[in-house]
């Protein structure tokens, strides 16, 4: 179990009320990552991607549920997010990217799968949008690229790469940066990605003669622990 019972009960009540009021959402963050990467980790908060037009109604719903704005205790950018907290449980409403690159639209919410995690039924953010939103999180204190590499290792071959490249637009070389690292890290696994993709991001396709031995050996050059983790977990679609 990676969602503690207390948090799960709060999430279930909150998401049920959102659905009852016709306020759509998609779950992102650590929960969506865990589902796609099959690498289970405790999530300290619930990230809900919502439409900008719904943000005030959702903030009101959180307040009714006993959540208070986290801003007085911990400053954050209110231009694209709202952070509510209740007894140590944090719920983030996200209606845009942190870099203001894009705003959440209906397709962000509609495309993802409905899944059950630890008995909690949720609509996940689609893997392409999750990948896109994590693509730009590279700074001194934090990088989400390891998350992207873990996602590629599991769901990369099934992703809609044309959609992701359309979303990225002129930032496609940044997608190429992640793919270049993945191709070096897991050359055998990288061969499962669409052949046309590599040329679109200015890269050579992985050599078909590459065996799988390098996949584990190279990962240990970056981190000697378990880089990719288990490939199964408590998720049903």
Q: Look up tokens 């870099």; give the residue.
A: 99
- Gap between the Cα atoms of 51 and 113, Å rounded: 18
Mean pLDDT of the chain: 90
What is the tens place of the pLDDT at every residue in 99-156?
Answer: 999 999 999 999 999 998 777 788 999 999 999 999 999 988 899 999 999 999 999 9
- Compute the distance between CA of residue 173 and CA of residue 103 in angstroms, rounded to an integer: 21
CB atoms within 10 A of CB 172: 16
Instruction: Tell me the range of 1-10, 36-45, 177-186 where mean pLDDT is highest.
Output: 177-186
| CATH code assigned at 50 | 3.30.460.40
**Number of folded domains in the chain?**
1
- pTM of the predicted model, to two decimals? 0.89
Instruction: Tell me which residue range forms the domain holding 139.
Output: 5-236
Q: How confident is the model at residue 204 (pLDDT cuts 50, 70, 90)?
A: very high
Q: How buried is residue 195: exposed, middle or buried, by Cβ count under 10 Å (0-12/13-18/19+)?
A: exposed
Pure H helices in the chain:
5-20, 29-37, 55-64, 106-110, 127-135, 145-155, 161-168, 172-185, 187-190, 195-200, 213-222
Q: Which residue has the tokens 């690498």?
A: 39
Question: What's the confidence (pLDDT) of residue 236?
Answer: 39
Residue 98, pLDDT score: 95
Q: Cα–Cα distance between 112 and 31 in angstroms, integer?
A: 13
| Segment 154-178 mean pLDDT | 97
Mean pLDDT across 167-175: 96
């Amino acid at each position: 179990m990676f969602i503690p019972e207390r948090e799960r009960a709060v999430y279930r009540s909150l998401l049920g009320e959102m659905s009852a009021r016709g306020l759509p959402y998609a779950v992102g963050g650590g929960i969506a990552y865990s589902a796609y990467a099959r690498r289970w980790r405790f999530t300290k908060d619930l990230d809900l991607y919502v439409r900008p037009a719904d943000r005030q109604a959702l903030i009101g719903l959180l307040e009714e549920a006993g959540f208070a704005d986290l801003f007085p205790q911990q400053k954050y950018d209110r231009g694209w997010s709202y952070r509510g907290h209740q007894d140590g449980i944090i719920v983030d409403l996200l209606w845009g990217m942190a870099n203001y690159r894009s705003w959440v639209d209906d397709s962000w919410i509609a495309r993802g799968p409905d899944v059950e995690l630890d008995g909690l039924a949720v609509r996940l953010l689609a893997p392409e949008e999750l990948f896109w939103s994590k693509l730009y999180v590279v700074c001194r204190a934090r990088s989400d690229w390891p998350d992207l590499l873990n996602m590629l290792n599991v769901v990369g071959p099934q992703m809609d790469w044309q959609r992701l490249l359309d979303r990225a637009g002129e930032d496609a070389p940044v997608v190429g940066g992640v793919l270049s690292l993945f191709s070096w890290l897991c050359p055998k696994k990288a061969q499962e990605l669409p052949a046309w993709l590599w040329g679109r991001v200015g890269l050579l396709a992985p050599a078909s003669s590459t065996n799988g031995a390098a996949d584990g050996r190279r990962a240990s050059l970056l981190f000697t622990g378990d880089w990719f983790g288990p490939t199964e977990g408590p998720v049903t679609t």
